[in-house]
Chain A
Amino acid sequence: MLPAAAILILFLAYPLGLGVWLSFTDARIGRSGIFVGLENYVWLWGDNVFWLSVFNTLLYTTVASTIKFAVGLYLALLLNENLPFKAILRAVVLIPFIVPTVLSAIAFWWIYDAQFSIVSWSLRHLGLIHENINFLGDVWNARWSVIFANIWRGVPFVAITLLAGLQTVSPSLYEAATIDGASAWQRFRYITYPLLTPIIAVVMTFSVLFTFTDFQLIWVLTRGGPVNATHLMATLSYQRAILSGYLGEGSAIATAMIPFLLAAILISWFGLQRRKWQQGENND
């Protein structure tokens, strides 16, 4: 117990508190700051780039998580079918999750290249477009591109965990429902969905949390550009704190993420509680 507690307190709890403290100081790299109260936050309140990053983060999280959930659930249902080579298929699906994000992001970087993009090339040769798509140079293109890359990476996780949940649902329930005349949608709505809810809540909490605080993908693909259009709060805080050296301001941005995260955790937590209460389950 002790070693774990020591490491966690020294490198997790203490930094967390320190981070909040730093956000109230004007610390720079190489010198500790003095207490300046809410100055950093007041400054951020009037900072357009910060609000842009908040907007980007919310857009990124909402769109990516929703699509990840939809596609992940669909893929889980598909993989739950009787398929030949089922085991291999499932193993292969997880590969995007295993490969380090940075390395797959580099592959996406090359796929999104302005001049030599394979996607542009294919569409051009199919006659659908006449000029190359500027994936990462245009504001909205860049946003959709990073969102797509994020979805690509997140779907396997959602799909495989939901699949594990699906496999605990007994087929006899579906057979009984079919005999009672339930349609496919009703079977999904009244059997699959309720039984899957607890797992959905947990998976989505994780998914939302990690999408919200994403850093690697954006940093590799765009570094926040073009004109800050893809800056998330995490990348902006890195840029301000480490590259420009304004530790205080960077920590203020990082601290500003905490309320959002708490909200996400609480929502899923209460979702879970309600479900347990409805089903009369023991909380274990």
Chain B
Amino acid sequence: MTDALAAKAADPRSVLTGSIADHSEGMSYLETLPRRLVTVYLPLSIIMLVLLFPFYWMLLTSIKPDDQLLEMDKVSPFWTTAPTLKHFYNLLFETNYPLWLWNTMFVAVSATIVSIIASVLAAYAIVRLRYRGAAWVGGAIFLAYLIPPSILFIPLSTVVFQYGLFDTPFALILTYPTILIPFSTWLLMGYFKTIPFELEECALIDGANRWQILTRIVLPLAVPGLISAFIFCFTLCWNEFIYALTFLSTTSHKTVPVAIVNEFVDGDIYRWGSLMAGAVAGSLPLVILYAFFVEHYVAAMTGAVKE
């Protein structure tokens, strides 16, 4: 009887019995290996394969010689016999790519620093200073987080034009914080809330003023939060497309995503090798950063959602 029931529920069962916290074994010992093979490993590997294939393909294309790119019948397209760095070489020495990378880096770092400073102050003010409407401001910031760039880019472009910022990096450095500040404020609010009041009260008794409390006590304790916010903001900046596309027009001012889309296409001939090399080189800094700070990424993402 129980066997029949178990067999009937075989598929979702093993998926769910595994829904356990990290530290304990839970009930998964109840399952046999073959069943886990079918219900867990097989779907998992299919999903992973689909998720990772585009990257493999991107990487492979970027090191394939040109003749193998379009010749799919002689050699298997899934592998290359003569890897070459020609596309990367072209990219670095015959295009403005290093300049674009530098632009992106400059804009991303500046915008991130501006936003982090602004949001540290804002988050601290919302969480700790008691004034009327603090909760209301918090809610407004969360709403601001939900306003997408694709609604704002048209009016922003007129604003940017009026302030004379059009086609300068400052257009991006000042507009990116509109995306970043709400996010990082929200994240930091969560961190600040976990810092006990008592520490600050002690500092107050010892004669510290608000500014000293913030820099000497709160910020050192919130370092993990700051790192999370910094990395995540940096990623968002690097990823941003629509503002950069709208506010920049000179080739040498562009950021990597915009430049790749617009500059690598000559009429109908797509230079796939260089295009892919550009995509790989543009993703690499973020992937490396990610590899070092995985936990912070996850913390940032889930922290922002959980609050």
Which A residues contact B (CB, under 8 angstroms)? 1-5, 7-8, 11-12, 14-16, 18-19, 22, 27, 71, 74-75, 77-83, 87, 89-96, 98-104, 106-108, 110-111, 113, 116, 118, 121, 152, 155-157, 160-161, 164, 166-171, 174-175, 178, 183-185, 187-188, 192, 199, 202-203, 205-206, 209-210, 212-216, 219-220, 234, 237-238, 241-242, 247, 250-251, 254-255, 257-258, 261, 265
Contacts and interface: CB of A to CB of B under 8 A. Distances in A.
18 contacts: A4-B185, A15-B155, A18-B155, A18-B158, A79-B44, A81-B28, A103-B260, A107-B54, A155-B47, A167-B21, A185-B12, A187-B16, A187-B17, A192-B19, A199-B306, A215-B241, A234-B242, A251-B155
A213 B287 contact: no
Interface stretch (B84-92, B114-122, B218-226): B114-122
Contacts of A12: 144, 147, 152, 178
Contact of B121 (A4, A95, A116): A4
A258 B151 contact: yes
A4 B189 CA distance: 14
A213 B150 contact: yes
A160 B301 contact: yes
Interface in B138-197: 141, 144, 146-159, 174-175, 177-178, 181-182, 185
Contact of A11 (B48, B158, B159, B294): B159
A98 B241 contact: no
Nearest to A14: B159
Given A89-B48, A174-B17, A213-B148, 16 more contacts: A11-B159, A78-B15, A78-B44, A82-B20, A98-B297, A101-B241, A102-B258, A106-B58, A160-B302, A164-B298, A188-B12, A210-B148, A219-B241, A238-B242, A241-B157, A251-B154
B43 interface: yes
Interface residues of B, number: 99
A265 to B, nearest CB: 6
